[in-house]
Structure 1
Amino acid sequence: MRRVLVARLDSMGDVLVSGPAIRAVAGAAEVVLLAGPQGAPAARLLPGVAEVRVLAAPWITPTDRPVDAGLAAEVARIVRETGVEEAVVLTSFHQSPLPLALLLRLAGVRRITGASVDAAGGLLDVRLIPGETLPEELPEPIRALRIAAAAGYALPDGDDRLAVLLPDRPGSAGAPPYLVVHPGAAVPARAYPAERCAEVVSLLSARGHRVLVTGGPDERDLTARVAGDTGVDLGGALGLGELGAVLRDAGVVVAGNTGPAHLAAAAGTPVVSLFAPVVPAVRWAPWGVPVALLGDQEAACRGSRARVCPIPGHPCLASVSPAAVVEAAERLLEGAA
């Protein structure tokens, strides 16, 4: 089969929500997925990906590398080694496909598709225009599918779910049911306050639920504080695939707008989404599973894309009581029963 490069250069959640578009391309070609360092582990969990290549793109992710001849040579090497002659560049509404398109064109890629507000000239062979030929307020999985469809790749109707390939968990059969609380977030403005997460764990435990608390290796202090004496602290104990399997087997996952919320959705688990409106929920809420969306979506930080909350007291999330989180989790559990 011919090979097509699909690019999604940002974080874990961005890669996961691009999964349906990647499967669409994979229905007609071998997909070489070009991911950033933060998104590459998620890229390796996606169905339909034949090969993953990693590029730290200075216009997308924080990196100290310059935009220079060395970067152009790296892109050219990836194109040469993978044998791709076509590329589909997936971006969010605030990103441009043009820097990568330029490097791919210089590397000899013959056909490139992307969505760009700016005129693309000869950089894009197929161009969607946000706000004109591409609606602005689309969920990210649907936006990515529209870009893939413009390139000529489509999924069957109704097949827009997220999906991941996850390992089995030895010994999980017959284990007591549990919920997961994931308190961390890569962007501080999107995190529910730690002390409130700890109250959620305590309340859920008091109501008879087994609660696992998950987090990365750099979040061990946070997960220990949140788990307290009643939760099971798994901070730093799981690789991404193992985390996905734990989320898959949970009854409900409680998380902010962060990668594991999208991983839970891709695994098919309902999510209590503590969603700070610094980015729009219509675009970034967990997709394809039952969701309880909590948080003041009209707060003053709305649409700011702030990484650190600009409003004293973090009111968009701090205003959500732990009792409300527990009630939402139990409603989702009842709905799944």
Structure 2
Amino acid sequence: MSVRVLVARLDSDGDVLLAGPAIRAAATGGDVTLLCGPLGRQAAELLPGVSEIVEWACPWIVPDPPPVDPADVQGLVDQIAEQRFDVALILTSFHQSPLPLALLLRLAGVPRVVASSVDFPGSLLDIRLCQEEDIPEAQRALQVAEAAGFALPPGDDGLLRVKAPPKYEGPDRYVVVHPGASVPARAWSPHRCAETVVALAEAGHHVLVTGSPGESELTALVAGDHGVDLGGRTSFAELAGVLAGAEAVVVGNTGPAHLAAAVGTPVVSLFSPVVPASRWAPYGVPVRLLGDQWAECRGTRARECPIPGHPCLNSVSPDAVVAAVDELQAVTA
């Protein structure tokens, strides 16, 4: 009989993509249900190894959280109890506690719960990892799976991966600029992005500008007369196809950076140091990291830039991005 495994990653698309290697490991030993938040659902649907998805807006994880609703919480407990899981892996970032969810899983009767926690877990966890802080998030998650007894199958390199995306029917060679970010402090200023599209085009690159439907005004501005505006015109799976065909992707620390890594595309990462690049930089692909990693905002986890002028990213010039794209092309040719 197959082991029933619940894997929980309750935040956003990029976080869910970084859980991919851990999920594939768990899938080698059991049937995996992924518990994710509404902001991670579209990424969850692309991950190999996921048999079922349960979506829940977690009030201690999601941005702008809803009030704690006892009926909603009880509904999750009842749903998990009905599925009779054998083991649960709670995947969190270094600054998140797994213990509130562990309590709910205990109430649901899950007999074995594994997670990383800096806090004393009492009887909430069967296996508690105390991990080094400065390891990539994908490795952090995989260590939790390994502690539960799950290992990647032979030949699995442990990198990010998604199901084969639809092929983008566009030019043979192009560079993608993705100007938006879910957290404003991690986004490069629109005028810098627009200047970079012009610089890339003048350097001979065909430039596509991508974004969500809510970013269509931004992508139109950034694309201007020198780029092709795809803002709001692709699903998440179609975006994966666009990124898969690119020579390089220019993007901040946001979900599409990890989606680019998951399809094996080199990344020019405009990385604001509000969180550490050692944990959150695109994983397992050639990367050129741009941005002042020692700026005053370093390690603040700020959602809005606390420094006037956003100097950690706005100090990066369009010419530096063009040079980084050219370097990536040279090393991957």
What TM-score do you get using the length of structure 1 for normalisation?
Answer: 0.95
2: distance between equivalents of 1:65 and 1:206? 47
| Aligned residue in 2 for 1:149 | 146
Tell me the equivalent position of 1:163: 161
The alpha-carbon deviation at position 63 of structure 1 amounts to: 4.6
Structure 2 portions without partners, runs of 5+: none
Q: What one-letter code is carried by the residue in structure 1 that aligns with 2:191?
A: E
Give the partner amino acid of 1:125.
D
Deviation at 1:85, TM superposition (A): 2.7
For the residues of structure 2 that align with 1:152 and 1:170, how far apart are their CA atoms? 39
Alignment match of 1:204 (pick from 196, 200, 204): 200
Match status 1:19 vs 2:20 = yes
Kindly state the Cα deviation for residue 150 of structure 1 after the two structures are TM-superposed.
1.0
2:255 partner letter: G
Q: Is the 8 A contact 1:56 1:63 kept in 2?
A: no
Aligned equivalents of 2:79, 2:242: Cα separation in 1:
34
**3-state DSSP of counterpart to 2:141:** helix
Residue type matched to 1:153 in 2?
F
**Counterpart-to-counterpart distance in 1, 2:98 and 2:65:** 20
Whole-Å separation in 1 of the counterparts to 2:240 and 2:198:
24
1:278 aligned onto 2:262: no
After superposition, residues 131-150 of structure 1 pair within 5 angstroms as 134-150=131-147
1:108-159 deviations in Å (ceiling 9; x for gaps): 1110001111111110011112xxxx21211000100111111111225872
Among 182, 192, 201, the residue aligned to 2:178: 182
| Conserved 8 A contact 1:32-1:82 | no
Is the 2:252–2:270 contact (alpha carbons within 8 Å) kept by the matching residues of 1? yes
Q: Say yes or no: does 1:228 pair with 2:229.
A: no
**Partner letter of residue 39 of structure 1?**
G
CA contact (8 A) 1:13 1:258 kept: yes
Aligned to 2:46: 45
Match of 1:259 in 2: 255
Q: Choose which of 211, 215, 218 in structure 2 pairs with 1:215.
A: 211
Give the TM-score of the pair, scaled to structure 2: 0.96
- Preserved contact between residue 46 and residue 163 of structure 2 (Cα < 8 Å): yes
Summarize the Cα distance change of 1:302–1:170 in structure 2 as closer, same or farther, 3 Å threshold: closer
Q: Which residue of 1 aligns with 2:99?
A: 98
Distance in 1, Cα, partners of 2:65 & 2:132: 34
Which among 324, 330, 336 is matched to residue 332 of structure 2?
Answer: 336
| Distance of 1:142 and 1:182 partners within structure 2 | 26
Query: Per-residue deviation at 1:189?
Result: 0.5
Secondary structure in structure 2 of the residue aligned to 1:302: coil
Counting aligned pairs with the same residue, the percent is: 61
CA shift for structure 1 position 176: 2.6
CA distance in 1, matches of 2:67, 2:229: 40
8 Å contact kept, 1:205–1:211: yes
Q: Structure 1: where are the runs of 5+ without partners? A: none
SS of residue matched to 2:128: strand
Q: Which amino acid aligns with 1:79?
A: I
SS at match of 2:35: strand
Which digits, 9 at most, give the CA deviation of each residue in 1:96-118, with x for residues without a partner? Answer: 00000001100111100011111
Corresponding residue for residue 300 of structure 1: 296
1:4 maps to 2:5: yes
Contact persistence 1:58–1:64 (CA under 8 A): yes
1:296 is aligned with what amino acid?
D
> How far apart, in 1, do the equivalents of 2:12 and 2:22 lie?
16
Runs of 4+ in 1 over 4 A off after TM superposition: none
User: Paired residue for 1:311?
Assistant: 307
- Output the aligned Cα RMSD: 1.3
